[in-house]
Amino acid sequence: MKIEKHILNANGALNPYLDDLNQMFSKWLPIITKQLPIDALDICVAKYPQGTNPKLGVGGVALNSNLLYIYMDTSNSNIKDSIHTHIPEALAHEMHHCARLAIYSDVKTLGENFVLEGLACQFESEICGEGKEPSFIPAEVLNTWRDYINQAAPLLDSDDYCFNTWFLGKAPDEMPKYLGYAMGYQIVGEYLKKNKTNAAKAYDKSAKEIISSVLQ
């Protein structure tokens, strides 16, 4: 396994956080990589407030099976603490995506995205949260996800839906922000419990298998 870390810091904005980032990576990368079959990975860390959760000051994205970004908002008052709490969550989440994207690289349907995000959310809970729910999903959204099952059902095998509405709160009058993550987390959670497994082991299970086991 080869992992390379890249701190995108030409303007020096991340200088005050370099030691904390190195400590965080030293602690968490061995824990995460022990659980996932990742052969090669580039991890880029950048100051990019637009890509972060406003409350946590961090965010992330996996672009493919070998490349992910961790975003930081250095103006967030909690950013130093978030490096040791919420960046490990984001790192675990995105690295799970990388492992899964090596098998399922073309994720299009609503159901596939429920499972992709649900597995990653479950994994970050297993690794960093001691089974606690993901910190970025509001409790009220996690508790009301079943209210949207009928609306989601005809779209599970379709790519004719708006990702930003289902997952990112584009239309808050229609759906709460992070609903798609909450639905994926709960659907995958029921599958894992039913099959007595965990998200690390289930990284390669098909979306069809997981969804049909829980919803159909």
- What residues does each domain of the chain span? 2-101, 110-214
The answer to whether the CB of 137 falls within 8 A of the CB of 167 is no
C-alpha 195/C-alpha 204 separation (Å) is 14
Q: What CATH number has the domain spanning 2-101?
A: 3.30.2010
The answer to whether the CB of 90 falls within 8 A of the CB of 115 is no
Tokens (6 digits) for 179: 């609903």
Percent of the chain scoring above 90 in pLDDT: 92
- pLDDT of the residue at 129: 79
- pLDDT of the residue at 13: 97
* Cβ neighbour number for residue 28 with a 10 Å cutoff: 19
The answer to whether the CB of 137 falls within 8 A of the CB of 178 is yes
Distance of CA 49 to the CA centre of its chain: 17
Instruction: Report residue 49's pLDDT band, with 50, 70 and 90 as the boundaries.
Output: very high
C-alpha 92/C-alpha 115 separation (Å) is 16
Mean of the per-residue pLDDT values of the chain: 95
pLDDT (tens digit per residue) in 25-42: 999 999 999 999 999 999
Q: pTM score, two decimals? A: 0.95
Number of DSSP helices (H) and strands (E) in the chain, helices first: 8, 4
C-alpha 3/C-alpha 143 separation (Å) is 37
Instruction: State mean pLDDT over 36-63.
Output: 96
Distance of CA 128 to the CA centre of its chain: 12
Helix (H) or strand (E) holding 190: helix 179-194
Helix (H) or strand (E) holding 157: none
pLDDT (tens digit per residue) in 82-139: 999 999 999 999 999 999 999 999 999 999 999 999 999 999 999 997 778 888 898 8
pLDDT (tens digit per residue) in 144-196: 999 999 999 999 999 999 999 999 999 999 999 999 999 999 999 999 999 99
Distance of CA 9 to the CA centre of its chain: 24
Tokens (6 digits) for 122: 């479950």
C-alpha 179/C-alpha 184 separation (Å) is 9
- pLDDT of the residue at 30: 96
- pLDDT of the residue at 216: 67
Phi then psi dihedrals of residue 6, to 5 deg: -130, 115
The answer to whether the CB of 24 falls within 8 A of the CB of 79 is no
